[in-house]
Structure 1
């Protein structure tokens, strides 16, 4: 079959090459239309209850992920010059397109009672024109008598001040968000240059935009880096520019197809799909090495170019096919998980890996048939003394030191198992960023001074229309205030913002600004406050910030209200504990027969998404193991060989997991790829070895010892070269700015290195120990 395919490819090489390049041009057109993804809740299935709760919340109250915060910390904030500069910053922020609202102490309002018209007027705490430091000091004293703003906009203990910037939600889902964020950063930098006061910026819009832009930037450099490194290795190996360029052409076409497929599937570039093009390069190069190594070794032996090409395709076709198939399985199994972002990665990566086989199968023999025969220099790598001596040493270890091989393997496994017990499963929203990164340090600034900026929402549903209208809301407000007190006592959470805080502020205004009255009104006080809470009928007046607060924290049906909390990035391990504590408190305060309490927001969806991704790892590993086992069983049709092949590939995974435990690398969404990907790629070495072993066994009259020895000598060279390329290719990821991608790089490299050793040393030992003539 494979010989017929080889002859078909060579006889129709021109037509096949033309078709390949036409398809490549078409896919390049689609690839040029690819866009970045700005969605961050795709880890959760759309039918998930918590995802549905989040959608319901957004429909009622709007997006919770459109707030950006700017903070400063200085003892000189209320010096006239610095204060005016901060006011200028706020004014500059308001002028930026798609900035909907800006709130800080400079535009804080006080409520003054107008008895004649029975209303509360929102009067700026700080006049628009401040004439003296004395006037500013007076306004400062007034601000400090308003508990509503304390800890929300300023922290008097640390002299930290906060500006909240609300952005248009539509621009946050478009490429235009980058310019908006950059304009805000420029405005903050301008303030810093004028006052020498450092600004800190955080919030989901900034984090998401910066991460997305860095993904795009890294994707380009990873492709360039992996191509450059592969070119260098190939050039050193083959000593031929034409052969190197041909190999690079194979993987470049593969990259174009992978990006084009991403677009055709309706997907965008995410943190995971951005890894696919460089992975295609890393995995595609060994295809070229397998084919070219066979072509060169056969040509060196026969001197017949045509026969060498037929031999290359017929003998290496099945090997390369199954190598790519198992690698594709390692990726494609993610498509079987419940996580949308993992499904996208699995579908595109799995199909791309199989296409790189088709591309190399058509392009390499077709192009080589038009190229001159390989010269002596190009064949020198077949007899490199260093690798020859290394393989002879491996052969000696396999044949004469079996007990030492078993001992070293056992020690490595015991050491790794001990490390596995130290392995932790925990993820943070920004823990893939270096601890010195400004995004990370700024986030920690807000956690230190304002208890964080990650949004958590608590929805209190009365279960009936107008259930929170009129005086019926008073008992609810009292319970909300008690809940707020409990939440504020948690060191990882800021004081909640809710309609209860707004009503307390109104009561203080009604009592002439006396902070002693900043509390929930009783039924008697509420009767007097009722008139003052009616909306202003003056159509020409604009809503002030308090009016916006009251209207945005209770739905139009007066059925449900929200409590918005900013909290620290506590991680997936601690967050459920915190939420359970709040849930226990809500169960004490609210009768479940009358109220439904829902916890939602970006923080909850992140937790749920992380859970799905981690569970997706377990599913994907099981599926990958099952499918690869079936492939190996089909290929070798021997249970003994199947067992011998799986052991050398499971041990490297155990070693990797153990290293993660010992080095403190947590199992988290960004590191879930390591095991399935490494298993899919590492098994290639096994297939390469065992297929050659199976082919050589009859030639050596089923002499197991001699066949193992010959297989190490003949196959070991291409295994070493391909492993070198794969390890070097994954090392590229170590230069990423994301911790998870760095871990993928060095941990996968370690897995591949250990898999190379186990397949060249332990696998032959197992074959010798269990050897029979039944293969």
Structure 2
């Protein structure tokens, strides 16, 4: 490794690059074309992000449920609370809307007012039959009023499914075919058919229709992610190019940098396609991330090139020194950044693993592109004019560096006190951080579909399916009266929870059978007695028509397993854990564990459990990143003591950010979990640059610590300031997102990197000055494993400059 990072090695690299410019450009072009051809393999995720490992017990339980009942998130609901619905014209239009949707191949069946069947008792011969709730296609005002009264007063079976009794809201349940729920066909139906049909209905009737359900929400949410990728890339290019131009005042330098990062973005998409990974809410941020991380590479390389030109005006020598001097340092800093992302590869979560793989590969790819493209393009261009070099002597930058030096020279105690106060405050804030497992929290609040979600939460107590799987341990055990009574008790128990909706299960069907037996009298909507079971239960088992679909939805083909579905409000992890803690002892009392097996599952629960899993992995991945980077620092400087100096200025900003999250009420969730590993991997780059320069200055200044610290501060302060500003505004681009999680990610990473810059420019030099006897001395820093900034190269430069 030392040989790989040696001065001789980088000299060889520089000569190879500059002697094979045409070949390298052809190879870059060919690679870009190849990776662009892989874009066709990119696919967008049509399922929710499953944060748990595939072999996790909770995931296995959920898969067992799907094996028995198929995809559970196949319900789309449409609702209206328009007071004019129960007028002949609009009532007919509402029924026709459901019929029209039911005619589509993608729809399994619908449950709307027009689809309702009544279980009716007949004499001569005695029998039950399912008969249409609405008999005619045209009706009078009196008939519509009669339907309304009968629905709300005499059909409790359909409460929560077709109507909300509290507010007189009516809804239609649309069940998609289960085999299309996680496919492109679902998206095509929702976007191209359902939404235009609903909008047409609203325009014709003047009624407001609310649409929701997991397939609908997932479709529009993923569409928002797709739309935002282009917006992020455009915004990141615009912001970074403007800042770059502000610093360098050169269209040429700006254009070269933009070309480099655009190729990097093309490669990022190509890698996603090559690996056949889905574009998720995480992998969608990688292309703009490459722009933000790639621009600092360009700044270091172009800044060094212009400094060399200003120094001696020799283009060939300048390009050679750009590669030999900046290549080594930039490689190390890109490796540490990639390491922060690569720690996610070690988790068992497929989502995080894919993100870590693609991000770390492309960070190294953008380093290689920068190192190749910038020197080669400049080699074909004229030497920069004096006006292009003016930015090297900006007064305001000099003022900033002077301020830093004054602070370190005269106010070291104040820096330590402020750092200590920040640490104490951060620890207090950390104790107030909450964990959020909300599936909807990060969704765009201004989107129409989110307002519809709020409507359904208000009217029907939530839209997030929570499933309970009951194993009776024997075939046809579900339809035993003893089991049905236990299920009825469980339904009453769930109905008591304010955060859960009225449950749906086979119990509702059996109760409806008894009501029908007693001529539709709603007071008999209850389970049959032991005397009634022999002549009522057989009818419940053999309901005809559309009833069959509903029955099969809640009992498996063997009759051994029952499914109970309730819908929960968008509550966080802590609330859900409290509900579970309260429910399980009662559930186990209703269903003895030696006779029944009861499991709680569903997409909402999977997501919440996944959030807890991620929090544990945050600690693991961040600890691994810290350990890995600590080992790199110890190896680089051949001193374990340097770990303290290098890690403290980078851990403090992470703690400050975590404290801010606590005070501002930003919870730990899948999006904000990434902040710490990303920020740590990037911020430690500044520490490497500073310590490498500091060691070089120590040797040049005959191991005089103070002179070396101030010289390092002046030398590295400008480039650290430049790159930190680019990173700050680059990550701030994510704050234009409509997704709360992406906004939080952008804001928190930006804030952390700003804190990290100040920490590395104020706290780090202050520690070096205060600990010079213990750490910052000749014995500790004399022999590094590698020369990040080559001293041999500097000596050769001085010799050449004297000759010239």
Q: TM-score, normalised to structure 1's length? A: 0.96
Contact between 1:105 and 1:154, CA under 8 Å: does it hold in 2? no
| Contact persistence 2:38–2:270 (CA under 8 A) | yes
Within 2, Cα distance between the matches of 1:500 and 1:422?
43
Contact 2:50 2:606 (8 Å CA) reproduced: no
For 1:683 and 1:531, locate their aligned partners in 2 and report how far apart those are by CA, in whole Å.
Answer: 71
| 1:730 aligned onto 2:735 | no
Deviation at 1:334, TM superposition (A): 1.0
> Does the CA-based 8 Å contact 2:81-2:169 persist in structure 1?
yes
Deviation at 1:131, TM superposition (A): 2.5
The 1-side partners of 2:582 and 2:392 are apart by 66
Query: d(CA) in 1 for partners of 2:410 and 2:308?
Result: 31
Q: Render the CA deviation track for 1:651-695: whole Å, top value 9, x for unaligned.
A: 111111111111111111111110110001111111121122222
CA contact (8 A) 1:151 1:450 kept: yes
C-alpha distance in structure 1 between counterparts of 2:572 and 2:30, whole Å:
49
RMSD (CA atoms): 1.7
Q: Distance in 1 between matches of 2:41 and 2:381?
A: 35
Residues 1:500 and 2:507 aligned together: yes
Deviations 1:23-75 (A, max 9, x none): 11111111243111112253121111121111111111111111111111133
- Work out whether residues 73 and 181 of structure 2, in 8 Å CA contact, stay in contact via their aligned partners in 1: no
Structure 1 residue 166 corresponds to structure 2 residue 171: no
Q: Aligned in 2, Cα 1:457/1:620: closer, same or farther, shift over 3 Å? A: same
Per-residue Cα deviation, 1:637-661 (whole angstroms, up to 9, x for no partner):
2233321111111111111111111
Q: How does 1:439-478 map to 2 (within 5 A)?
A: 439-468=449-478, 473-478=480-485
Moved more, 243-252 or 673-682: 243-252
Quick one: structure 1 residues 534 and 447, their matched pair in 2 at CA, closer, same or farther if it must change by over 3 Å? Answer: closer
CA distance in 2, matches of 1:531, 1:770: 86
What are structure 1's unaligned runs of at least 5 residues?
A: 537-542
Deviation at 1:756, TM superposition (A): 0.7
Q: Find out whether 1:43 has 2:51 as its counterpart.
A: yes
Aligned to 1:623: 624
Compare 69-78 and 344-353 and name the one that shifted more.
69-78
Write out aligned runs for 1:645-660 (5 A).
Answer: 645-660=646-661
Name 2:533's counterpart in structure 1. Answer: 526
Q: Identify the residue that residue 644 of structure 1 maps to in structure 2.
A: 645
Matches of residues 442-591 of structure 1 in structure 2 within 5 Å? Answer: 442-468=452-478, 473-533=480-540, 535=542, 543-591=544-592
> Match for 1:233 among 240, 243, 252?
243
> Could you say which residue in structure 1 is the equivalent of 2:787?
none
Q: Is 2:437–2:607's contact at 8 Å kept on the other side of the alignment?
A: no
SS of the residue 2:128 aligns to: strand
Inter-CA distance 169–242: structure 2 relative to 1 (3 Å threshold): farther
Whether 1:633 aligns to 2:634 is yes
* Aligned residue in 2 for 1:383: 393
The C-alpha deviation readout for 1:290-328, integer Å capped at 9, x for no partner, is: 111111112211222122112111111121011101111
Within 1, Cα distance between the matches of 2:315 and 2:458?
Answer: 71
Q: Once the 2 structures are TM-superposed, how far is the Cα of residue 77 of structure 1 from its aligned partner?
A: 2.7
Matched, 1:99 2:104: no
How far did 1:585 drift? Answer: 2.1
Deviations 1:713-760 (A, max 9, x none): 221111111111111100100000101110111111111111111111
| Segment drifting more, 665-674 vs 487-496 | 487-496
2:696 maps to 1:692: no
CA–CA separation in structure 2 for the residues paired with 1:18 and 1:703: 49
What is the 5 A alignment of 1:333-348? 333-348=343-358
Q: Which residue of 2 aligns with 1:145?
A: 154
Instruction: Give the corresponding residue for 1:127.
Output: 135
> Following TM superposition, by how much is the alpha carbon of 1:197 offset from its aligned partner in structure 2, in angstroms?
2.7
Distance 1:400 1:495 in 2: 68
1:84 pairs with 2:85: no
Q: Would you say the 8 A contact 1:41–1:605 is kept in 2?
A: no
| 2:670 counterpart of 1:669 | yes
Structure 1 equivalent of residue 788 of structure 2: none
1:172 CA displacement: 2.8
Please state whether the residue corresponding to 1:148 is helix, strand or coil. Answer: helix
The answer to whether 1:418 aligns with 2:428 is: yes
Alpha-carbon separation, structure 1, partners of 2:425 and 2:747: 19
2:299 is equivalent to residue 289 of structure 1: yes
Residue 62 of structure 1 is matched in structure 2 by 70
Compare 720-729 and 270-279 and name the one that shifted more.
Answer: 720-729
SS in 1 for 2:44: coil
Q: Is the 8 A contact 1:494 1:566 kept in 2?
A: yes
1:749 matches 2:750: yes
CA distance in 2, matches of 1:422, 1:368: 53
Change (3 A) 1:353 1:211: same
Q: CA deviation at 1:503?
A: 0.8
Structure 1, 80-89 or 265-274: larger mean CA deviation? 80-89
Residue aligned with 2:41, SS: coil
Separation in 2, partners of 1:396, 1:679:
27
How far apart are the structure 2 equivalents of 1:531 and 1:161?
31
Post-superposition offset of 1:97: 4.1
Question: Deviation digits for residues 214-240 of structure 1, max 9, x if unmatched?
Answer: 111111111111112222222222222
Distance 1:561 1:187, change over 3 A: same
How many Å apart are 1:90 and its aligned residue?
A: 1.4
CA gap 1:298/1:92 in 2 versus in 1, 3 angstroms: same
Which residue is 1:33 aligned to?
A: 41
Is the Cα contact below 8 Å between 1:125 and 1:142 reproduced in 2? no
Partner of 2:566, secondary structure, is strand
For residue 148 of structure 1, report the CA deviation from its aligned partner.
0.6
Conserved 8 A contact 1:483-1:586: yes
Structure 2 unmatched runs, 5+: 1-8, 782-804
Give 1:136's aligned residue: 144
Structure 1 residue 376 displacement after superposition: 1.0
* SS of match in other structure, 1:84: helix
| SS in structure 2 at match of 1:101 | strand
- Alignment-derived partner of residue 188 in structure 2: 179
Distance in 2 of aligned mates of 1:534 and 1:156: 28
Residues 66 and 169 in structure 1, CA contact (< 8 A), matched pair in contact too: yes
Partner of 1:573, secondary structure, is: helix
SS at match of 1:523: coil
CA distance in 1, matches of 2:433, 2:584: 29
Match of 2:278 in 1: 268
Aligned equivalent of 1:540: none
8 Å contact from structure 1 (residues 426, 668) kept in 2: yes
Question: 1:65-104, CA deviations, whole angstroms, 9 ceiling, x for partnerless residues?
Answer: 1111111113333222221221122123223441221112
| Matched residue SS, 1:672 | helix
Q: Name whichever of 180-189 and 48-57 sits farther off.
A: 180-189
